[in-house]
Every structure is written in C-alpha cells, then in structure tokens.
C-alpha cells in the first residue's frame, strides 16, 4: 500500500513524539435496557441508515434516538470527518422529522461499502483515503466538507 507524506513545506521536526491514542464510548449513561438492546460488543451503538438506534437482530428501532460520530457502529474508520458528516445527517433528519414529518437523509451506502475514510486534518486540509490511496484535498471531498456546515442545514428549514 502506498503511503502519503506531507509536502516538505508542511513537515515539522521534533525532539520527541508522544502517542496519545485510545478512546472509549461513554455508553454507561444509557438506561440498562437501551444498553442491552443497542450497544454491541464493540461498545458502539447500532444504527440504521438514518442514524436512528436500530438493533439489526431484532429490527427494533427507536425513531427518536439518534447516534452519530464515534458512538455509531459503521464500517468506517472513526474520524472527525465522519463524525462531522454523521452529525449533520442526524441533525438534518431530526429537523425534517419535526417540521415535515419525514426523514430526508440516509448514509451513502456506496461510500460505506468501499471502506472509505474521510479524515479532516488541520483547519484547511482534507486527507482522504479510497481503497488504500491517500489523497490531499481531493476536490470532491473538499466540496463535501464545505457542505457539511450547519448553516446550510438550517437555511433549508428556517
């Protein structure tokens, strides 16, 4: 697999590097019944295409409960990019269900099925990975990222 390195002008040097990785979803705040039904063995919440809680085994769905970001069980590498994307999708559906009594956005299955990764790095750059190829500021993802902003969502409904 090819690896990506930042251009020389964006590289920095350091005397030491500390790794600070690790994350645990705080699912304990949920009622026991919800934990039992919707938290899986990876400590993630099962969701449907609209990001509503849904147990895939029993098909039980809680239409007024949404999960987004690291909490949601999706076949993607967890990143701020996906968290941003899911937050916008879930909030769009919350607003449309309140004002129009329908859900207007679903997860993009074509993206999910190919195990894409969207990583946002820094204030300006979008690093993405598609099937092993890492690209800096792919125009498609830069446009997508710009459109995630809440102003766009709210302008539709206000």
Ligand X SMILES: Cc1cc2nc3c(=O)[nH]c(=O)nc-3n(C[C@H](O)[C@H](O)[C@H](O)COP(=O)(O)OP(=O)(O)OC[C@H]3O[C@@H](n4cnc5c(N)ncnc54)[C@H](O)[C@@H]3O)c2cc1C
Binding positions for ligand X, rule: CB under 6 A:
20-21, 23, 26, 29, 69-71, 78-81, 83, 119-121
Minimum CB–partner distance for residue 101 and ligand X (Å): 28
CB contact at 8 A, 121 and 127: yes
CA 41 to CA 128: how far, in whole Å? 28
Q: Which is nearer to ligand X, 11 or 57 (CB)?
A: 11
Q: Which is nearer to ligand X, 25 or 97 (CB)?
A: 25
Q: Which is nearer to ligand X, 111 or 121 (CB)?
A: 121
Q: Which of 107, 88, 108 is nearest to 156 (CA)?
A: 88
Taking residue 90's Cβ as centre, other Cβ atoms within 10 Å add up to 20
- Residue with the shortest CB distance to ligand X: 69
**Cα→Cα distances 144→120, 134, 137, Å:** 12, 17, 11
Taking residue 45's Cβ as centre, other Cβ atoms within 10 Å add up to 26
Minimum CB–partner distance for residue 66 and ligand X (Å): 12
Q: Which is nearer to ligand X, 29 or 98 (CB)?
A: 29
């Amino acid at each position: 697999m090819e690896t990506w390195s930042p251009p020389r002008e964006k590289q920095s040097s350091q005397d030491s590097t500390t790794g600070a990785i690790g994350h645990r979803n705080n699912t304990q705040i949920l009622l026991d019944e919800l934990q039992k039904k919707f938290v899986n063995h990876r400590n993630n919440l099962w969701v449907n295409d609209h990001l509503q809680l849904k147990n895939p085994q029993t098909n039980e769905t809680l239409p007024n409960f949404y999960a987004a970001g690291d909490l949601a069980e999706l076949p993607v590498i967890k990143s701020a990019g996906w968290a941003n994307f899911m937050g916008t999708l879930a909030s769009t559906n919350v607003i449309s269900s309140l004002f129009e009594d329908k859900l207007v956005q679903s997860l993009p299955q074509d993206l999910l099925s190919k195990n894409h990764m969207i990583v946002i790095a820094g204030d300006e750059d979008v690093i993405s990975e598609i099937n092993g190829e890492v690209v800096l500021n792919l125009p498609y993802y830069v446009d997508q990222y710009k459109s995630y902003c809440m102003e766009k969502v709210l302008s539709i409904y206000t």
